[in-house]
Structure 1
Amino acid sequence: MLDNGYQPAATMTTHRASFKEYLAIARLDHMTKHVFIIPGIVIAYAVREPSVEFTAALVFIGFMSAIAIASANYVINEWLDREFDAFHPTKSKRSAVQWSFSPQLVYLEYAIFAVVGLVLAYSVGTLFFYTSVLFLLSGLVYNVQPLRSKDRPYLDVISESVNNPIRLTLGWTMVDPTTLPPSSLLLAYWTGGAFLMAAKRLSEYRDITGAGGADLLHRYRRSFRYYTAESLTVSCFLYAMMSAFFIAVFLTRYRFEYILALPFIAILFSSYLWLSLLKNSIAQRPERMFRSKRLIASLVMVVVSLLFLSFVDLPLLYVIFEPSFVPADMMKPNN
Structure 2
Amino acid sequence: MSRNVLGALFVLFAVGALGMGYAFFSTPFVLSLVALLIAGLLYNVPPFRLKDIPFLDFISESINNPIRFLIGWYSFGGESFPPILLLLWWWAFGMFLMVGKRISEKRFLGVQGSGAYRPSLKRVTEPALRLSMLSLGILSLLFIVAFALKYRIMTFLIFSLPMAGFFFWMFWVINRKRGELEEPEEILQNPFLSILLFLITAFFFLSLYLERFSR
What is the TM-score normalised by the length of structure 1? Answer: 0.56
Query: What does residue 232 of structure 1 align with?
Result: 129
Q: Give the secondary structure class of the aligned counterpart of 1:312.
A: helix
Contact 1:271-1:298 at 8 Å conserved across structures: no
Shift of the 246–225 alpha-carbon distance from structure 1 to 2, 3 Å rule, reads same
Shift of 1:108: 5.0
Query: What does residue 18 of structure 2 align with?
Result: 118
The AA in structure 2 aligned to 1:143 is N
Q: Give the secondary structure class of the aligned counterpart of 1:147.
A: coil
Query: In 2, distance between residues paired with 1:116 and 1:291?
Result: 40
Query: What does residue 202 of structure 2 align with?
Result: 304
Contact 2:103-2:130 at 8 Å conserved across structures: yes
Shift of 1:290: 5.4
Identical pairs, percent: 31
Contact 1:128-1:177 at 8 Å conserved across structures: no
Query: In 2, distance between residues paired with 1:187 and 1:157?
Result: 15
Shift of 1:311: 4.0
Query: What does residue 183 of structure 2 align with?
Result: 281
The AA in structure 2 aligned to 1:250 is F
2:38 to 119, 134, 137: 137
The AA in structure 2 aligned to 1:178 is E
Query: In 1, distance between residues paired with 2:135 and 2:75?
Result: 32
Shift of 1:137: 0.9
The residue correspondences of 1:243-254 to structure 2 (distance < 5 A) are 243-254=140-151
Query: In 1, distance between residues paired with 2:47 and 2:2?
Result: 23
Shift of the 179–264 alpha-carbon distance from structure 1 to 2, 3 Å rule, reads same
Query: In 2, distance between residues paired with 1:302 and 1:203?
Result: 24
Shift of the 259–118 alpha-carbon distance from structure 1 to 2, 3 Å rule, reads same
Q: Comparing both chains, which one has the higher relative contact order based on Cα–Cα distances under 8 Å and sequence gaps of 6 or more?
A: 1
Q: Which runs of 5+ in 2 are unaligned?
A: none
Contact 1:185-1:247 at 8 Å conserved across structures: yes
Shift of the 296–115 alpha-carbon distance from structure 1 to 2, 3 Å rule, reads farther
Contact 1:257-1:314 at 8 Å conserved across structures: no
Query: In 1, distance between residues paired with 2:133 and 2:85?
Result: 19
Query: In 2, distance between residues paired with 1:137 and 1:173?
Result: 18
Contact 2:134-2:171 at 8 Å conserved across structures: no
Shift of the 291–174 alpha-carbon distance from structure 1 to 2, 3 Å rule, reads farther
Contact 2:58-2:95 at 8 Å conserved across structures: yes
Q: Give the secondary structure class of the aligned counterpart of 2:211.
A: coil
Query: What does residue 58 of structure 1 align with?
Result: none
Give the ranges of 4+ consecutive aligned residues of structure 1 lying more than 6 Å apart after TM superposition: none
Matched, 1:164 2:65: yes
Query: What does residue 4 of structure 1 align with?
Result: none
Q: Give the secondary structure class of the aligned counterpart of 1:305.
A: helix
Q: Which runs of 5+ in 1 are unaligned?
A: 1-100, 319-335
The AA in structure 1 aligned to 2:114 is L
1:218 to 107, 115, 122: 115
Shift of 1:280: 4.3
Shift of 1:315: 6.8
Shift of the 280–193 alpha-carbon distance from structure 1 to 2, 3 Å rule, reads same
Query: In 1, distance between residues paired with 2:31 and 2:46?
Result: 23
Q: How many residues align?
A: 209
Query: In 2, distance between residues paired with 1:263 and 1:174?
Result: 30
Matched, 1:179 2:85: no
Structure with higher Rg: it is: 1
